[in-house]
Amino acid sequence: MKKLIQILFIIPMLTLSACGQSNKKEVTKNNNKTMGNVINKPNNPYYSNTDTKKLNVSNEEWKKILPPDLYAVGREADTERAFTGTMWNDETKGTYYCAVCGYKLFESTQKFTSSCGWPSFFEQDNKESITFKLDKSYGMIRTEALCGRCGSHLGHLFNDGPEPTGKRYCMNAVSLDFVPFKESSTTETIVLGGGCYWCVEAVYENLDGVIKVESGFSGGTVENPSYEEVCTGRTGAAEVVEITYDKTKTNLDEIFKVFFTVHDPTTLNRQGADVGTQYRSVIFYKNEEQKKAAESIIKELNDNKVYSSKIVTSLEPFKKFYPAEDYHQNYYNNNKEKPYCQMVIQPKIEKFEKIFKDRLKK
Ligand code: FE
C-alpha cells in the first residue's frame, strides 16, 4: 500500500428460407445439451478435444458409435428443426466442439444469436477447424460446412453474417458439444467501471496474470442493454470491464492499484469529457473478499490524501455482466489511429506502463 501511495503521489436476419437449411428428414429430438462438464464419451474411441489427426472412419463404424440423431445429421447431412434446444440463442462463454469427434470448432466469442434458429457463428476457431464443400442438393447452391477432423456434416456457410467477417456459419446444435468456460480455483473475475471501457480494457490487457478482459455493462435495470441505450444514461448501467485473472500471477491488490492509477476516482459520474452515470467509477464486487479489499484500499487512499478530493468510487454488489457489442472489444488495439485512442487512451496506457513496467506481459 505504501508503495502505491508513493506511486500515486509521484504520478498523479434472417428468415428461415434465407438460412436455407433443408431437411431430408427432420431431426426433432430436443437437443438440450448438458452444459457444465468436460465431455466424456467412453463409447466413442475417436472422441478427443486434443487430438487433431484427421480421421477416416466408415459410416458403418460411426453408426455403431453415434446416437441416431447425431448420426443422421453428422453422417447423412440431415438438418435438425430450427429452434431445437437452447443452443441457438445461448450466450454462455465457452468452447464448441464437434459432437462426433471432439475437434474444437468455435469459441463463444465467435457466436452470435441469429433469428434463423440454429447456432450461428461469424468465424471459425482456426482455418483447419472447418472445411467446405459445394452442395447442390435440393436445387440450391450452398456451401456445406464439415468438421475439419472427422468430415462430419455440421451445417452450411452463408455470406449474410455480421461484421467483421460477414459470414454466418449456420450449424446444427446436435453437431456441437459445448463446454462452458469454468473458473478454476486459481482463476477469478472482477468487474470494474472506470469511465470509458475502451481505456480500462486496453490497460488490463497488458498486465501480467490477466487472462481475459471483456468490455460490457453492469448495474442498472435494463436486461442486456445496447451501447446506444447505455449512452443515454437512463439504464443505470455502467461501462465496465470484466477481468479474468490468474490468482497465482496477480491479485486483487494489484488489480485495484492499476484501477486507481489509470482513472480518476474523485469525479462523480465523470471521466474527463465523458459525463454520465454510465461513466461512474464503480467496483462491482462478487464476494465479501472483493468488497473488503475495495473498502480497504479506498480508506487508505483517502486517509493518506492521495487525491486532492475524496474518492467517490461506488461499491455495488455484482448482479450480471452483459458483454458489449463485438466492435467494442479490443477497441484500442483495433483503432489505434483514431483521435480518441491517441489522445485519451494512449496517455493512460503510457502511465500504466511506466508505473507497472515490471508487471507487463512479456
Ligand atoms: Fe468431427
Q: What is the pLDDT of residue 198?
A: 92
Give residue 130 CA to ligand 1 midpoint distance, Å.
9
Here the contacts of 225-232 (C-beta below 8 Å, separation 24 or greater) are 225/322, 226/325, 227/324, 227/325, 227/328, 230/278, 231/276, 231/278
Residue 103 alpha carbon to ligand 1 centre in Å: 5
- Ligand 1 (ion): residues with CB under 5 Å are 98, 100-101, 103, 147, 149-150, 152
Distance 197 CA to ligand 1 centre (A): 38
Q: Is 360 exposed, middle or buried (0-12, 13-18, 19+ CB in 10 A)?
A: exposed
Residue 50, pLDDT score: 83
Please tell me the pTM assigned to this model.
0.55
Q: Which domains does the chain have, with CATH numbers?
A: 16-180 (2.170.150.20), 183-357 (3.30.1060.10)
For ligand 1, the distance from its centroid to the CA atom of residue 63, given in whole angstroms, is 14
pLDDT at residue 209 in the model? 95
Q: What per-residue confidence (pLDDT) applies to 362? A: 84
Query: Which is catalytic among the residues 196, 199, 231, 341?
Result: 196
Q: What is the pLDDT of residue 16?
A: 31
Contact of 151 with 131, CB cutoff 8 Å: yes
What pLDDT is recorded for position 2?
44
Look at residue 183 in the predicted model and tell me its pLDDT: 67
Count of alpha carbons within 13 Å of 126, Cβ hemisphere only? 5
Output the CA 36–ligand 1 centroid distance in Å.
Answer: 20
Cα 346 to ligand 1 centroid, rounded to whole Å:
44
Of 193, 189, 201, give the one whose Cα is nearest residue 218: 193
Cβ–Cβ under 8 Å, residues 345 and 332: yes
Mean pLDDT by 10 residues, the chain (362 residues): 46 33 41 47 89 94 96 96 90 92 94 94 93 94 97 97 94 94 83 95 95 94 91 94 95 96 95 94 94 95 95 94 90 91 93 94 87
| Upstream peptide bond of 42 is cis (omega within 30 degrees of 0) | no
- CA 56 to centroid of ligand 1, rounded, Å: 11
The reply to whether 196 belongs to the active site is yes
Residue type, 325: E
Give the per-residue pLDDT at 326: 85
- How many angstroms separate the alpha carbon of residue 148 from the centre of ligand 1? 7
Distance CA 234, CA 345 (A): 25
- Indicate if 98 belongs to the active site: no
Catalytic residue among 101, 147, 150, 170: 170
Per-residue confidence (pLDDT) for residue 95, from 0 to 100 = 93
